[in-house]
Structure formats: C-alpha cells, structure tokens
Structure 1
C-alpha cells in the first residue's frame, strides 16, 4: 500500500509505502498511471491488520475500501498525525510469491487506486482496544464531480482569448426566427 500525503507546513508531497509483513523490502509493482514496472521501498508494518475485500468490477462505480492498522505503530501514527492525508492518493497492490524461494513471481499488480476519504483515529478507554482505519474511495469518484464553469463568452475567453464560439450565447433566448417570406431575425432588428 502506498499513500501520498502532504507536509502540513509546505504542502510538499510525501509518500509512505507499507506492506503487511515485517522488515523493509524493495518490491516491483505495476504503476497504475504508466503501466510500467517500478520499484518502491515498502516499510514492514506487521500491524497492517486488515484490508476490506476489493471488488473487481469492470464498470465505473465508485468503490470503497477500508484499511485497518494497529494504533500502536509509530509510522502509522506519524503519517496520520504529522502529515495531511485528506484526499491523499492511495494505491493498493497484490503480489504473488514463489513458496520455495519467497521471491515475487512478477511485479505486484495494482488492485486499487483512489483517495483517502477519512482517517478516524479511535482512542480507546483504558483496557479497551483502539484502531486506526483509513477509508478510501476509488478514483472513479472524480467522474461524479460537476463542472461549476458556465458556458459563457467570458468563460471561453479566459481559456482561449481568440475563441468567439459563445459570443452570442446570452442573446440566443431573445432570437425570433421567422420561417416565412418576410420577417425579422430579431425583434429589435430592422427588416
């Protein structure tokens, strides 16, 4: 799992990569953006308790995944308390190992790409168990966002100053089109 958050003071991106065993490892994964194999250093946090089943669908529905960690892990606490992980990019990979050599058979495939949608840290009462969970939504969520920009001449000019496509858009509602032999194109225009 890789999470790309931000340093709160500067806004610089910071990437943390974890895997669900002990020890640090450099592993090859298939990059979700380029489709090429790249190597990343993953920190071993045996405290990666659980990842919700990731639905393997071929449609554009927004998928939700929750990842649970132990609250005792220092690296997880640093990630969630020191850095800003709101809307941080999340990538979850799955790799297969050869049982005899314990080496990866091929680069780990990308199983989930999305954003952090919430990271509640539950502080338990004395004698109770606490947990840290990161709620993630898939990047298909971006398809549900609307565009607040209006179709206007001014808006088009800010994007491309020479484009007059929307020049008459505000007066289109006032057009009266006469479909006979005589008439006017506009009510205020002379025949």
Structure 2
C-alpha cells in the first residue's frame, strides 16, 4: 500500500472529484555534444516548474501528452510496458527523439494532485515509476493526417533480461563507440602467453618418457 502525506491523504479521503496530472522526466544523451541532458513533459496545459527532491524542474505542457495508461503494480520479475502517447511531433517531442538518443534513456514518472476548486497543488509530486525507454516509434500518416508518436517505457525489471557478456561479440562491441575490448575473443585461451621468464601454455604438457635399460 502506498503511503501519502497528510494533505494528500485528507484530499483522497474526502472523495471529491480528483484533479491529477502526470509528470514525465527523461534523461538522454545529446546526439551532437554527447552530453547527458534532461527534458520534462507533463499532462498540463502550459509549462510549469516543480520542485522534486530539492531540485526545480521545468516541465513542458501545452497539450504535448495525449494521455496516460493506468499503471499496474505487481510483485515478481514480469517486465511490463507502459505506453505514453503524444500529440504530433511537437518541438519538445522532436528534441527527445531526434536531438537526443532515446534508446534506454532513464525515465521517471511523478503524480501530482490539484484542488479542483482552487487549482492549487495539494502536495509535492510523488514518484510512481522509474524505468527506461524501450521503443519510440513514429507513425507517419497519409497526406493530411496527424503524426502518431508513442513512447514505450519499461520498469527496472528489464535490466534482469540483459544477456551475459559471454554472448557479446567483437562486432557488437565496436558499435558501442568503437569498443575493442573483445577484439581477441576468438583466440582467447588458444594463444601461448609469456609472463616474465616462465612460458604459460594452454597446450597439455608432454607425456613422460620411460626408458627401459637394455639387457
């Protein structure tokens, strides 16, 4: 069961109309500079600053986020995918998908409650999800249609599905910025190695020779 602060608990116990917004915080690498940058989006109508963890974050709205799915919480190692639909390819979305490298970029989701009568924030945003981007397909419609963008994010359980390093080849590693750590993996364990004056060899030692004296 989730714990709420006193203001939020009283607000939910009142059973009045709930006014809720979802905040999305992305952290991705800039394709041009290589620096890690952040981008905030939310379901609100305009840009707004929120204080989260002592830091002030700017979240862009203006109808960018089309909606949000209901999060499902469960114990276990199941990898659930949560989809975030966006309204067209707006500048903020274009920056996330084209200006940044969204592959496996960390994602945080927060929920914030508002008083429906005063439109005032009830309490600081509460984190409800931590994960990473799994896919970000862009569907280009026929002439006159609207571009469809949907970012799929997965939870931390996804990290448990990463294959063992034993299955990574040199060709795959070279795609990671020219990493040549596995350059000699094909001959590993088959090459004699010299350590100081002692020669280490993977080949088996010669069989002992037994000499039989002549009579």
Q: TM-score, normalised by structure 2?
A: 0.61
Unaligned runs of 5+ in 1: 30-35, 150-187
Alpha-carbon RMSD across the aligned residues, in angstroms, is: 2.2
5 Å matches for 1:5-154?
A: 5-29=28-52, 36=53, 38-148=55-165
Deviations 1:131-156 (A, max 9, x none): 1111111111112334436xxxxxxx
Unaligned runs of 5+ in 2: 1-23, 167-207, 209-215
Cα distance in 2, alignment partners of residues 103 and 37 from structure 1:
20
The answer to whether the 8 Å contact 1:92/1:112 transfers is yes
Aligned pair in 2 of structure 1 residues 145, 79: CA closer, same or farther (>3 Å)? closer
Aligned pair in 2 of structure 1 residues 89, 45: CA closer, same or farther (>3 Å)? farther
Structure number, greater radius of gyration: 2
Q: Once the 2 structures are TM-superposed, how far is the Cα of residue 71 of structure 1 from its aligned partner?
A: 1.6
Q: Once the 2 structures are TM-superposed, how far is the Cα of residue 129 of structure 1 from its aligned partner?
A: 2.9
Cα distance in 1, alignment partners of residues 121 and 43 from structure 2:
15
Q: TM-score, normalised by structure 1?
A: 0.68
Runs of at least 4 residues off by over 4 Å: none
Q: Once the 2 structures are TM-superposed, how far is the Cα of residue 102 of structure 1 from its aligned partner?
A: 1.7
